[in-house]
Chains A and B, each alone.
Chain A
Amino acid sequence: MTPFNTADLLVILPELVLLGATCAILLVDLFLKPGQRDVTHWLSIGALALTAFFVWRGAPEMGQGVYAFGGMFVHDNIAVVLKLFVLLICALTFVYGRHYLRERQLLIGEFYLLILFATIGMLLLVSAGSLITAYLGLELLALSSYALVALNRDSSISAEAAIKYFVLGALASGLLLYGMSMVYGATGTLDLARIQASTGFIEHPNLLALGLVFIVVGVAFKLGAAPFHMWLPDVYQGAPTAVTVFIGSAPKLAAFGMAYRLLESGLGGLSEHWTIMLSFLAVLSLAVGNLFAIAQTNLKRMLAYSTISHVGFLLLGFVGATPAGYAAAMFYAISYALTAAVAFGIIALLARAGFEAEEIDDFKGLNQRNPWYAGIVAITMFSLAGVPPLFGFFAKLLVLKTAVDAGFLWLAIVAIVFAIIGLLYYLRVVKVMYFDAPVHDAKLELPPDLPLRWTLSLNGLSLLILGVAWGPLFDWCNRALGL
Chain B
Amino acid sequence: MADWPILSLLIWVPILGAVIVLAFGRDETVARWLTLCIALATLALSLPLYFLYQPGLTATFAGVAAPVTMQFVESHEWIRALKVYYALGADGIAVALIVLTTFTSVLVVIGSWASIDKRVSQYMAAMLALEGMLIGVFAATDALLFYIFFEAMLIPMFIIIGIWGGPRRVYATLKFFIYTFLGSIFMLVGLIYLHMKTGEFSLAAFAQAGLSTSEQAWLFFAFLIAFAIKVPMWPVHTWLPDAHVEAPTGGSVILAAIMLKVGGYGFIRFSLPITPDASYEYAWVVIAMSLVAVVYIGYVALVQEDMKKLIAYSSIAHMAFVTLGIFVALALTRDFANPDAARLGVQGAMVQMISHGFVSGAMFSCIGVLYDRMHSRMIRDYGGVANVMPWYAAFFVLFAMANCGLPGTSGFVGEFMVIVAIFQSNFWIAAIAAFTLIIGAAYTLWLVKRVIFGAVTNEQVAALKDLDGREWVVLGAFAIAVLAVGIYPKPLTDLMEPSVLQLVNALMTAKA
Contacts from A to B (Cβ < 8 Å): 367-368, 371, 382, 387-389, 393, 397, 400-401, 404-405, 409, 412-413, 416, 419-420, 423-424, 427, 430-431, 434-435, 470-471, 474-475, 478, 483
Write the chain B residue with the least CB distance to A375. Answer: B22
Minimum C-beta distance from A282 to chain B (A) = 16
The answer to whether B80 and A471 have CB atoms under 8 Å apart is: yes
Contact with A along B136-157 (1 / 0, CB 8 A): 0000000010011001101100
Contact with A along B153-166 (1 / 0, CB 8 A): 01100110011000
With a CB–CB cut-off of 8 A, which chain B residues contact A388?
147-148, 151-152
> Would you call B186 an interface residue if the criterion is a C-beta within 8 Å of the partner chain's C-beta atoms?
yes
Bound complex: CA A420 to CA B185 (Å): 8
Q: A389-B152, A434-B159, A435-B162 are in contact. Are A416 and B178 (CB under 8 A)?
A: no
With a CB–CB cut-off of 8 A, which chain B residues contact A387?
151-152, 154-155, 181
The answer to whether B188 and A416 have CB atoms under 8 Å apart is: yes
* New contact pairs (11) apart from A388-B148, A389-B148, A435-B170, CB-CB < 8 Å: A401-B196, A404-B189, A404-B193, A412-B189, A413-B186, A413-B189, A416-B186, A423-B177, A427-B158, A431-B170, A434-B162
> Would you call B169 an interface residue if the criterion is a C-beta within 8 Å of the partner chain's C-beta atoms?
yes
Secondary structure type dominating chain A contacts: helix
The answer to whether B181 and A420 have CB atoms under 8 Å apart is: yes
Write the chain B residue with the least CB distance to A401. Answer: B192
The answer to whether B188 and A397 have CB atoms under 8 Å apart is: yes
Which of B79, B162, B193 lies in contact with A409, CB distance below 8 A?
Answer: B193
Bound complex: CA A435 to CA B186 (Å): 29
> Would you call B195 an interface residue if the criterion is a C-beta within 8 Å of the partner chain's C-beta atoms?
yes
With a CB–CB cut-off of 8 A, which chain B residues contact A471?
78-81
With a CB–CB cut-off of 8 A, which chain B residues contact A427?
158, 174, 177-178
Write the chain B residue with the least CB distance to A371. Answer: B122
> Would you call B182 an interface residue if the criterion is a C-beta within 8 Å of the partner chain's C-beta atoms?
yes
The answer to whether A416 and B162 have CB atoms under 8 Å apart is: no
With a CB–CB cut-off of 8 A, which chain A residues contact B80?
471, 475
Which of A413, A416, A483 lies in contact with B81, CB distance below 8 A?
Answer: A483
Minimum C-beta distance from A39 to chain B (A) = 38
With a CB–CB cut-off of 8 A, which chain A residues contact B119?
367-368
Write the chain B residue with the least CB distance to A436. Answer: B170
Which of A368, A412, A483 lies in contact with B192, CB distance below 8 A?
Answer: A412
Which of A405, A431, A475, A483 lies in contact with B162, CB distance below 8 A?
Answer: A431
The answer to whether A400 and B188 have CB atoms under 8 Å apart is: yes
The answer to whether B154 and A401 have CB atoms under 8 Å apart is: no
Instruction: Write 13 A-B pairs (CB below 8 A) sorted by A numbering.
Output: A387-B152, A389-B148, A397-B188, A400-B192, A401-B195, A412-B192, A427-B174, A427-B178, A431-B170, A434-B162, A435-B173, A471-B79, A474-B81
With a CB–CB cut-off of 8 A, which chain A residues contact B189?
400, 404, 409, 412-413, 416
Bound complex: CA A419 to CA B188 (Å): 12
Bound complex: CA A435 to CA B167 (Å): 11
Minimum C-beta distance from A436 to chain B (A) = 8
Minimum C-beta distance from B375 to chain A (A) = 20
Minimum C-beta distance from A376 to chain B (A) = 13
Q: Which among B178, B181, B195 has the greatest number of chain A C-beta atoms within 10 A? A: B181
Write the chain A residue with the least CB distance to B79. Answer: A471
With a CB–CB cut-off of 8 A, which chain B residues contact A389?
148, 152
With a CB–CB cut-off of 8 A, which chain A residues contact B81?
471, 474-475, 478, 483
Q: A387-B151, A471-B78 are in contact. Are A404 and B196 (CB under 8 A)?
A: yes
Minimum C-beta distance from B190 to chain A (A) = 10
Minimum C-beta distance from B360 to chain A (A) = 26
Minimum C-beta distance from B499 to chain A (A) = 27
Bound complex: CA A434 to CA B182 (Å): 22
Q: A397-B188, A435-B170 are in contact. Are A423 and B79 (CB under 8 A)?
A: no
With a CB–CB cut-off of 8 A, which chain B residues contact A409?
189, 193
The answer to whether B195 and A431 have CB atoms under 8 Å apart is: no
The answer to whether A474 and B79 have CB atoms under 8 Å apart is: yes
The answer to whether A397 and B185 have CB atoms under 8 Å apart is: no
Bound complex: CA A404 to CA B159 (Å): 33
With a CB–CB cut-off of 8 A, which chain B residues contact A400?
188-189, 192
With a CB–CB cut-off of 8 A, which chain A residues contact B177?
423, 427
Contact with A along B54-79 (1 / 0, CB 8 A): 00000000000000000000000011
B221-253 with Cβ < 8 A to chain A: none
With a CB–CB cut-off of 8 A, which chain A residues contact B192?
397, 400-401, 404, 412
